[in-house]
Amino acid sequence: MKTIRAIAGALLCLAAGHALAQYPNKPIKLVVPYVPGGATDVIGRVLAQALTGPLGQQVIVENKAGAGGNLGAESVAKSPPDGYTLLMGAMTSHSIMVTLEKDTIRYNLEKDLVPISMAGSVPLVWVVNPALPVKNMQELVAYAKANPNKLTYASSGAGAPQRMCAELLRKMGGGLDMVHVPYKGSGAAMTDLVSGQVTTMCETVPASIGFIKAGRLRALAVTTPQRISMLPDVPTTAEAGMPGYEVASNFGVAAPAGTPKAIIDKLSAEIQKALARPEVQEQMLAQGAYATPTTPEQAAARIHKEIEMWAKVIKDANIKAD
């Protein structure tokens, strides 16, 4: 029996080695589950270009939008686990959907997909209309407490990281009474925030930095552990007196569950090397994202942590899907 097991194990190792030696022998499809032009798409295209040379095969981006990113993610989860169909996912958004869309989502983020590496992180910043008489996060919280339901905050939808960022502030502030104003996207929300139709928002830095630099919005704090190079004079939430309040929109690459570990490890190593190249980091930064390469295990841990964190926020705030 031991001999048979040893032979079987050896054959499996040989098969895995053969698969790795042959991989990839055709183009790889990187599915972006959103329309072209967004952060996930841009990061995916930068990464696809950076991987094409080292892998010796084209990495082709395919946009498959729908159902808040669930359609494309589901299609990858149900693809053959051979390393030729990968997901370029907005992992923070997918983690939120695990709870928010639990009755309609048709794949399991942690069981049907296996993380390869995180890829990028887009920081968020708390901004207010300059007419609002607050200069920092402590004053924002104090204003909300002194003026129940007068503070209006915008978001680009129930499941958006921007909404979760605001709900986390409400919770950390002791149950702040603020009025949520949902929009179809960041563009419309920014327009109304600048014009004073709403008073505040937790928004991605790329979407808000132009208004901040033009003086049309006031930045209170970035929700990152350290200050960021794009807004070096804006304090972190920890510096602003709110330690532990950290939110970013994180992106990563995953494959269908069952993909051979040898292929996962090879892809992860190549992604990590690509994201360590200065020119790739510069391309990412030009789009407002920081390169965040990880091992598969680190990526899985990060995704699991986000799923748990957002599940609690959604439950406590009784957030429902749009």
List, for residues 67-81, the tens digit of each pLDDT value.
989 999 999 999 999
Q: What is the rounded CA–CA span in Å between residue 259 and residue 273?
A: 21
**pLDDT score of 271 more than 70:** yes
Pick the CATH number of 123-222 from 1.10.760.10, 3.40.190.10, 3.20.20.70, 2.40.50.140: 3.40.190.10
- Please tell me the predicted confidence (pLDDT) of residue 186: 87
- Please tell me the predicted confidence (pLDDT) of residue 64: 97
Q: What is the rounded CA–CA span in Å between residue 63 and residue 194?
A: 31
Asked whether the CA dihedral 148, 149, 154, 157 is positive or negative, the reply is positive
**pLDDT score of 4 more than 80:** no
Identify whether the C-beta of residue 204 lies closer than 8 Å to the C-beta of residue 185: no
What CATH number has the domain spanning 2-121+249-317? 3.40.190.150
Confidence at 274, pLDDT banded by 50, 70, 90:
very high
Confidence at 321, pLDDT banded by 50, 70, 90:
confident
- Please tell me the predicted confidence (pLDDT) of residue 185: 83
Closest CA to 220 of 169, 269, 176, 254: 169
List, for residues 44-56, the tens digit of each pLDDT value.
999 999 999 999 9
Name every residue whose Cβ is closer than 8 Å to that of residue 8 and which is 6 or more positions away in sequence: none
Q: What is the rounded CA–CA span in Å between residue 49 and residue 274?
A: 10
Q: Rounded mean pLDDT of 256-275? A: 99
Helix 278-286 to helix 261-276 angle (10° resolution) is 80
Strand partners, 236: 222
Could you say which DSSP state residue 277 is in? S
Name every residue whose Cβ is closer than 8 Å to that of residue 192 and which is 6 or more positions away in sequence: 154, 181, 183, 198
- Please tell me the predicted confidence (pLDDT) of residue 21: 75
Q: What is the rounded CA–CA span in Å between residue 19 and residue 240?
A: 52
Q: Rounded mean pLDDT of 283-312? A: 96
Closest CA to 292 of 70, 114, 46: 46
Identify whether the C-beta of residue 174 lies closer than 8 Å to the C-beta of residue 144: no
Closest CA to 245 of 221, 227, 217: 221
Give the Å distances, CA to CA, from 305 to 90, 225, 233: 15, 16, 30
- Please tell me the predicted confidence (pLDDT) of residue 20: 67
Domain with CATH 3.40.190.150 in the chain: 2-121+249-317
List, for residues 113-165, the tens digit of each pLDDT value.
999 999 999 999 999 999 999 999 999 999 999 999 999 999 988 889 999 99
Strand runs (DSSP E) across the chain, as ranges? 28-32, 59-63, 85-89, 113-128, 152-155, 179-182, 200-204, 218-222, 248-256, 290-291
Q: Rounded mean pLDDT of 173-196? A: 93
Identify whether the C-beta of residue 107 lies closer than 8 Å to the C-beta of residue 256: no
Phi–psi pair at 292, nearest 5 degrees: -135, 65
- Please tell me the predicted confidence (pLDDT) of residue 204: 94
What is this structure's pTM? Answer: 0.89
Name every residue whose Cβ is closer than 8 Å to that of residue 15 and which is 6 or more positions away in sequence: none
313-219-43-69 Cα dihedral, nearest 10 degrees: 30
Name every residue whose Cβ is closer than 8 Å to that of residue 213 and which is 6 or more positions away in sequence: none
Domain with CATH 3.40.190.10 in the chain: 123-222
- H helix intervals, 78-223: 91-100, 137-146, 161-172, 186-195, 205-213
List, for residues 11-43, the tens digit of each pLDDT value.
555 555 555 678 999 999 999 999 998 899 999
- Please tell me the predicted confidence (pLDDT) of residue 158: 80
List, for residues 206-256, the tens digit of each pLDDT value.
999 999 999 999 999 999 999 999 999 999 999 999 999 999 999 999 999
Closest CA to 143 of 183, 200, 221: 200
- Please tell me the predicted confidence (pLDDT) of residue 3: 61
Residue 266 is which amino acid?
K
Confidence at 307, pLDDT banded by 50, 70, 90:
very high
**Joined tokens for residue 286:** 């030009």
Residue % of the chain over a pLDDT of 90: 87
- Please tell me the predicted confidence (pLDDT) of residue 5: 55
Average pLDDT, the chain: 93
